[in-house]
Chain A
Amino acid sequence: GAGVSQSPSNKVTEKGKDVELRCDPISGHTALYWYRQRLGQGLEFLIYFQGNSAPDKSGLPSDRFSAERTGESVSTLTIQRTQQEDSAVYLCASRYTLAGKNTGELFFGEGSRLTVL
């Protein structure tokens, strides 16, 4: 697609439920990132994918959080047993990694706003 696509754009759930957030990166972008943006705060790195492997999962806040990616395509971020502190906007970004096309710029989706009641 033309840009990074995320779904759902808004999700309201009850505490204790599981949620899945989806990211469809720009075609040809091999690197994919998940960030979290809590109200009034900066962006917090969660996880990075190169292809379908995740060399850096250091930002995942707990074992309730997991993510996977199919090839160099769609990624899913799963939050199990959601808590109120998980409420945030979850942002996905992607970028080229090929020499000559890698400008270092991340291209962001519009985010998935998660509200845990």
Chain B
Amino acid sequence: AQSVTQLDSQVPVFEEAPVELRCNYSSSVSVYLFWYVQYPNQGLQLLLKYLSGSTLVKGINGFEAEFNKSQTSFHLRKPSVHISDTAEYFCAVSFGTSYGKLTFGQGTILTVHP
């Protein structure tokens, strides 16, 4: 079965600390991978995506993610977080479909404390 799992529903961290938000998927077909962010009272916006090529992808606001095919993971990382990174983060996967329907994980709320 095709599924997306975000292992942590909430991640609290202190400002300037590193953070990793985990995402795993299950699929028997090729995938495209995305991370979206939803700031409080705002719509979703794309952080970064993996379609092909280098497995390490860089996105906006200093975030990066690495596609690991053998572990079926696409974890999101940032070496030093800011208060403004407080938001909900969603991992999303397109399972080899030609029309690009995205299946979303349950979301991870990142809270950055001063």
Contact = CB atoms under 8 A, between A and B. Distances in A.
A110 B43 contact: yes
A33 B101 contact: yes
Given A42-B90, A104-B49, A31 B44 contact: no
Interface of A: 4, 31, 33, 35, 41-45, 48, 50, 55-56, 91, 95, 97, 102-106, 108-111
B44 A108 contact: yes
Contact of A42 (B43, B51, B100, B104): B104
A17 B106 CA distance: 30
Q: Is the interface of B mostly helix, strand, loop or mixed?
A: strand
A108 B44 CA distance: 6
Nearest to A106: B102
Contact of B34 (A45, A50, A55, A105): A105
A109 B43 CA distance: 6
B45 interface: yes
B101 A45 contact: yes
A33 to B, nearest CB: 7
Contacts of A104: 32, 34, 49, 51, 94, 100
A103 B92 CA distance: 14
